[in-house]
Structure formats: structure tokens, C-alpha cells
Amino acid sequence: MRLPRFFGKKRGHRRTGSQAWGSFGEAVFYAALVMAGVCFAGLWITGSLGVGSDEAGLPWARWWLWLSSLLIPGALLAFGIAGLVRIVRGWGKSEERRAAAEGLANLIESMATPADAGRRFPGVPTCEDLVNSPGTILRYRLPIESPESWTLVGLGLFAVLWNAVLMVLAVGAGIDLLGGRVEWLLLAVIVPFLAVGVAGVVVFVRRLFLTTAVGTTQLEISAHPLLPGNSYDVLLAQSGSGTFQSLALTLEVEETASFRQGTDTRTERVIVWRELVKEWTHLQITPGVRFETHVTITIPDGAMHSFASEHNAVRWRVVVAGQPDRWPAFTRVFPLVVFPAAGPLHSGALPLAATGGVRR
Amino acid sequence: MTAYEGANGTARPAMPRVGMQFDRADRVYPPEHCLVGRYEVEGVQHESVRALERSVLWYTEGKGEEDLSVHHFERLDHEPLRAGDFPSGTITVRLPASPLSYEGVIVKIRWCVRIRLFFASGRDFVSEHVFDLGDIAPAPGTVERLT
């Protein structure tokens, strides 16, 4: 019996570490956790940690301290044992065998959930969240996935948290002042904190005003999920006021890939196909009367379906991009789910690149 | 693993060969159809093979971390092992409806049949045979990189 090689070839020219040595390293790490947990537990049982008796000599009087002291050895033992069990269960098993075992567990889990449409299409995301809102004119109202909304939430959170810290510092300084003491260092810290806090609130209010001033965008669709080769009626409704230099509705396919770079997890997103469905220019929107229009979107025959796995995804989406006269440009994203086409192979299927609306 | 005498007189392990013949010459299968593949293992002494695993799976390639999902898995490790059990065989699988094979820009989906041999020495050898599920057109290229 030979020792496993430290380096092994994975695919192509990439050379990766040996899986056996990797598992061995992990096992050593988890064994160390278990040992540390056992040591802590031993110290706790023998009373070497000084837990269990108070100064008055009453045993276990500080029950909360006794209970909390269990957390450290308990957590170490739980993490260590769970890790060791996982390694022992996977030891000597091929990548496929481990994945098959995981797949079986996922299958049992999915069978426990009611009517999962995605079960017939493994790797295709379900569209339950996209069909639970009925439209006013068409069948479904699509949920919005606006990057601007997340920016607004982020700015709001920053303003609240920063000013909460500022309040704590200000109360401390105020108490000192009332007591007749002046903490110059604390005051010197508060001044720049106050400036940043005020700026945070101003930026948040400005962004909130701009977001609400442009008006809401609503999209409804005649059917969902979508299928390649089919066309769907879409209702676009834009509220607001004033003139829009342009308002465009595009259909896009986005690829997303997450990967580790050092200790960071990064995500790269690329638009691989885009079709301009329709663009309106010099659009005048009257306050209280929203702009409504019907368009037709077509999923090209032979197009890739929606796909989602742990680190990779292919997503379809409708994007509404507007350029109001008085306000900054905005982009609003409405996700779609495209299922694989049923039936035989798409012989002579049109490559996406051959369709008319592709812009590179 | 079996060994043979190298040119310089040293014993070097022989490289097994796994031949795979699909029932479709173009290796393109419609979703939810049957795949039949006949494999043949050469270059190993049959008694040195401890077990054989045959699986049909998809995995991702590209910029992101690899995701893998096994659609069909079989392990042949009869005891006692008969020499004639493993050198050739047929794998018959009804393929799923998705995910379809895809050649994207940063995401690619590949379907394959994997034959993995486990030797008495503790080593293993894997052979991968790619096929297409569906005939999705490749992505035309990068339109825009998002931040």
C-alpha cells in the first residue's frame, strides 16, 4: 500500500492538491478541535476553571456562569465531532459517490415539499416567487429586483447605525458637561462623527427623494414560466411626472459565477445576450396618469433555459432603463424563469447570435 | 495497478484505457431519452481491479467554482471479485429533462459518463466521456460585464 501522492492532476493542465492529503489535513484540524474540547471539559469537570463555587462557598450558585462555561467545550466538541464524522463518511469515496449520496438526500427533501415544479427540471430554479402576485391586466405581476433599492437600504442602514453611535457619544459628552467636566478628546471625536452622520442622512434623503420622484415601474406578463420559441404579452406601466428622454425595455441573459480568490468569495456577472424589445423617446408623463403600453417578448428557439446551481447561474430578465429629464438615469430589473423546451431536439435551431436584436 | 517493464528496466505502472461507444454517433441526446453506452477497459489485469464505478453526471466549467450533480451512479464491487466482471459493460440510463449542455461565456455545463476503476493497490483511475444533452446554441459572447 502506497501513500497517496501529495499533488494530483485534476483536469487539463491544472494541478491540484491530493484529495486524500486534504481530507487528512481537515481530519487533523477537527481532531485538534475535539482534543481542545475534551481538555476544556476535563478542566471544567475537575473544577480547575474555578467555576461552580462562589466566594461565599455556595456550590453552583452562579448557575449562569456554570451554564455559559459549557458553551466553549460544547461548541468545540460539536464542531470537531461533526467534521470528523463528515470526513470519515466521505473517506475513500469518489467524488461521484459522495455527490450521488447528496443527490439522494436532496431528492428525499424535495419529495417532502409540495408540488415542486422544478423537480421535473433539475438545475432549473422554480418560479413560485414570480407567480404569486396576480396582475391587474395580464396574468402575473413580476417582482422588481432593483439595484437602486438595495443602495437605498444600504444608505439608510448606514445613516441609522452611524447616528446611533453618535448619539451614544453625544449623551456621554452631555453627561460630562452637566457634571462640569469637559472631555476635549471626546468632543474632538464627536465633531467629525457629527459631520459624517449629517452627510449620511443628507445622502439617504436625497437618494430616497430621487428614487420616489422618478415614479414606480410595473411589469405584467401573460404567462410564466416561459418556454423557448414562444412569445408573451408584457404590460409596462411607468408612473411619475415630467419628460423622459428615453425609456427602454430589453430582454437579457446573464451568466453569474462565484469563485474564491484567496479568502474572498467573488461573483462575476456577464450579460451574454441582449435584445432591445422597444424604446420610447421624449416621453411625457402626466402626474397621476401612468404611462401604459403592451409589448411582445419572444424567447428565441433553442435558447438556454434558466439555470442555478450553488456557484453558477444563467438568468433571464427584463430590464427597464429610463433617462428622465430632471433626474438621474434608473435601471429596474424583473427576473424571469425560462424552462427547457419540451419535445425533440431543436434541429436547425437558431443560434442566439443570429437573431436580429443582438447587440454586442 | 498493473506494472510493466519500462525502457530503462524500471517497473512503471501501465495506463489503463477505457473505450466508450455511445449509441448515437454524434453523442447528442434529447432530454428524457435513453442513453446506451458500451465501455471496454483495456491495459489492466482484471484481478487487480477491486471495484468499478460508473456514473452519468453533469458538472460546470468556467469562471466559477465547479458544481457537480450525479444523475446515475452504480458501484460494482462484488466479493469475491471475478476477473470477467468488469472489463466491459453497458450503461443504460434515461436522461433527465435538464440541465441541458451549455457553452456559455463564464458558465459551461457538461454532461459525461465517468468510469472509475479502483485498484487493489489503493489507486484509482477515472475516464470521462462527454456527451451533449439537448442542442442549445453556444452563448454569442460578452455583451456587457456587470460590476
Q: Report CB contact under 8 Å: B107, A353.
A: no
CATH of the domain at A227: 2.60.40.640
Q: What's the CA gap between B89 and A336, in Å, rounded?
A: 43
pLDDT digits (tens, 9 = 90+) for A20-39: 777 888 899 999 999 998 88
User: Is residue A118 situated within a structural domain?
Assistant: no
Asked if A42 and A28 touch (Cβ cutoff 8 Å), the reply is no
Return the residue in A1, A95, A350 with the most chain B beta carbons within 10 A, the one to mutate for interface testing.
A95
Q: Is residue A96 part of a domain?
A: yes
pLDDT tens per residue, range A299-316: 999 999 999 999 999 999
Instruction: Tell me if B140 sits within 8 A of B77, measured CB to CB.
Output: no
**Does A206 share its domain with A168?**
yes
| Number of domains chain A is built from | 3
Residue A67 pLDDT > 80: no
A125 and A337 Cβ atoms separated by less than 8 Å: yes
Same domain, residue pair A79 and A136: no
What pLDDT is attached to residue A179?
86
* Same domain for A90 and A158: no
Alpha-carbon span A248 to A359, nearest angstrom: 14
| One domain for residues A247 and A337 | yes
Which cell numbers in the block locate residue A84? 470528523
Please list the residues that pair with A333 across neighbouring strands: A319
0.80 exceeded by the pTM?
no
User: What CA–CA distance (Å, rounded) separates A259 from B107?
Assistant: 12
**Which of A4-8, A147-151, B36-40 is predicted least confidently?**
A4-8
Q: Is the pLDDT of residue A251 over 90?
A: yes
As a whole number, mean pLDDT of residues B116-138 equals: 90
User: Looking at the domain assignment, is residue A120 inside a domain?
Assistant: no
- Tens of pLDDT, residue by residue over A181-193, are 888 888 888 999 9
A221 and A175 assigned to the same domain: no
Q: Are residues A39 and A187 in the same domain?
A: no
Q: Let me know if residue A199 belongs to a domain.
A: yes
How far apart CA A287 and CA A281 sit, in angstroms, is 18
The reply to whether A135 and A276 lie within a common domain is yes
**What kind of fold does domain B17-133 have according to CATH?**
Immunoglobulin-like (2.60.40)
Which residues in B lie closer than 8 A to residue A274 (C-beta atoms)?
143-144
CA distance B65 to B67: 6
In this predicted structure, what is the pLDDT of residue A61?
52
**A contacts of B30 (beta carbons < 8 Å):** 344-345
Any domain includes A121: no
Question: In the block, which residue shows the cell 483536469?
Answer: A11
B-chain residues near A315 (CB < 8 A): none
| A to B CB pairs, distance under 8 Å | 176
Shortest distance between the Cα of B147 and any Cα of chain A, in A, equals: 7
- Contact state of A122 with B136 under an 8 Å Cβ cutoff: no
Cβ-based neighbour number of residue A258 at 10 Å: 17
Helix extents (H) in chain A: 19-46, 63-69, 71-90, 95-112, 147-178, 184-214
Within-domain flag for A201: yes
Residues of B in contact with A275 (CB under 8 A): none
Distance CA B105, CA A193 (A): 46
Q: Is residue A231 part of a domain?
A: yes
CB < 8 Å to A100, chain B? 55, 70, 73
Residue A162 lies in a domain: yes
CB-based contact, B115 to chain A, within 8 Å: no
Q: At what angle do helices A71-90 and A19-46 cross, to 10 degrees?
A: 150
Q: Where are the domains of chain B?
A: 17-133
Full residue range of the structural domain in which residue A166 is found: 148-214
**Quick one: A234 and A305 in the same domain?**
yes
Q: Do A108 and A224 belong to one domain?
A: no
